[in-house]
């Protein structure tokens, strides 16, 4: 009740204009092993080489710091998404293109993340690979541990994943190479969040 929003003279729009880009949030959601971090890394690398300012918020990396106190219950996953969304909004307000790579299994919380963006362009990218394909890849050995009972509350095994119904972009990473998927994301940005002046 006693906390009010403090206004400042410098706006998010001005910060983005100084970087000659449209700030936005790209929210990559999908099962573990679907390729979220791989595609986000390729997109950030390409944007950086083009002179644009981007930053990845990766779910695993955030759990080493900002979200290190959270587990993997449904309640903890909701809070993990909320904190990440608030951080993404702050970085976008600083003028950055923010790439969030997070399983983010629940539709309601992904919708909340879009609301938290508060008018900043927000694009939900479904990195879609079937559970069987993600288990086949299993780059971190997590599915094997989940199947053996060593990990509980694992998305896709004993915790639900609610696939997006109308994502801004769907990437079929079972049939598309990572580089091709990254190109699709860059094309989305070119259409929906172009640089000022078409740069």
Report the catalytic residues.
Answer: 104
Residue reference for tokens 């890394």: 41
Cα 43 to Cα 26: distance, rounded to the nearest angstrom? 10
- Residue 157, SS3 per DSSP: coil
Burial bucket for residue 145 (CB in 10 Å: 0-12, 13-18, 19+): middle
- Residue 14, SS3 per DSSP: helix
CB 36 within 8 A of CB 127: yes
């Amino acid at each position: 009740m006693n906390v009010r929003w403090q206004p400042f003279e410098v706006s998010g729009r001005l910060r983005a204009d100084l970087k000659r880009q449209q700030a936005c949030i790209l929210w990559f959601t999908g099962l573990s092993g679907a390729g979220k971090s791989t595609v986000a890394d390729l997109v950030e690398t390409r944007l950086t080489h083009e002179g644009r300012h981007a930053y990845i918020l990766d779910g695993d990396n955030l759990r080493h710091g900002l979200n290190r106190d959270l587990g993997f219950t449904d309640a903890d996953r909701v809070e993990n998404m909320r904190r990440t969304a608030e951080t993404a909004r702050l970085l976008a307000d600083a003028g950055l293109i923010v790439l969030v790579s997070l399983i983010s299994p629940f539709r309601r919380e992904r919708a909340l993340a879009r609301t938290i963006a508060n008018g900043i362009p927000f694009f939900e990218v479904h990195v879609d690979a079937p559970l069987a394909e993600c288990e086949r890849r299993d780059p971190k050995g997590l599915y094997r541990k989940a199947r053996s009972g060593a990990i509980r509350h694992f998305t896709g095994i004993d915790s639900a994943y609610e696939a997006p119904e109308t994502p801004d972009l769907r990437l079929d990473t079972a049939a598309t190479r990572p580089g091709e998927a990254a190109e699709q994301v860059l094309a989305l940005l070119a259409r929906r969040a172009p640089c000022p002046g078409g740069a």
